[in-house]
Every structure is written in C-alpha cells, then in structure tokens.
Amino acid sequence: MSKIEAIATVMPENNVSQTEIASFARRIFKDRYKDIDRLLQVFDNGDIVNRQFVMPIDWYAEAHSFGEKNDTFIEKAVDLGHEAISKCLQDAQVTMLRLMPFFV
C-alpha cells in the first residue's frame, strides 16, 4: 500500500511586507489610475502580512520580455520543486539508490 513518507514546504527567498507591496504598486500604477488610493485599499483588507516573490521586488518594475519572464518562472519553479523534493527525501531517509528502479 502506498503512503506519504514526508512533506516539505519551501518558499521563494524574497519576502516582502504588504506595506512594501502597496508602496510598490503605488509607484508603478499612480500615473495610470487617478483613483489609485481607493484601489490600494485592497492591500489593507486582505489579511495578508507578507508575500513571497521569486525575484527581488524591483525586478517586477523592469521591462522583461514574455520569454524572459516565462524562463525565469520555469527556472525558479524547478529550483523550488527540487528543494522541496530533496527535503522530503531527506526527512523520509530515502536514498537515491532506493529510487533508481523508478528511473531506469
């Protein structure tokens, strides 16, 4: 019978407070929306303290092609997935030798 041996949580390394995100959003969108202050209230009403990003927050203010954003997303998702899997294997005390039959 199958069973779950371990679980793990990993988080992107850039932890940003909701206050910082609201300031960032104001800076980025203030010229596009006349009612920016009304729109930014969503940051106060969401009961969110911090958000995690795979890149430093200022990276999101820079121009990036769709391909670059997509490649970055894939790279960071694979890195985080690898980290989570490694933690699970370590916590469950599973060696790669034990997993080899699944990859042959």
> Does 14 or 104 have the greater pLDDT score?
14
pLDDT reported for residue 95? 81
Give residue-wise pLDDT tens across range 70-103: 999 999 999 999 999 999 999 999 887 887 787 7
Task: Write out the DSSP string of 20-41.
Answer: HHHHHHHHHHTTT-TTHHHHTT
DSSP 31: T
**pLDDT, tens digit (0-9, with 9 covering 90-100), for 4-43:** 989 999 999 999 999 999 999 999 999 999 999 999 999 8
Q: What is the pLDDT of residue 1?
A: 81
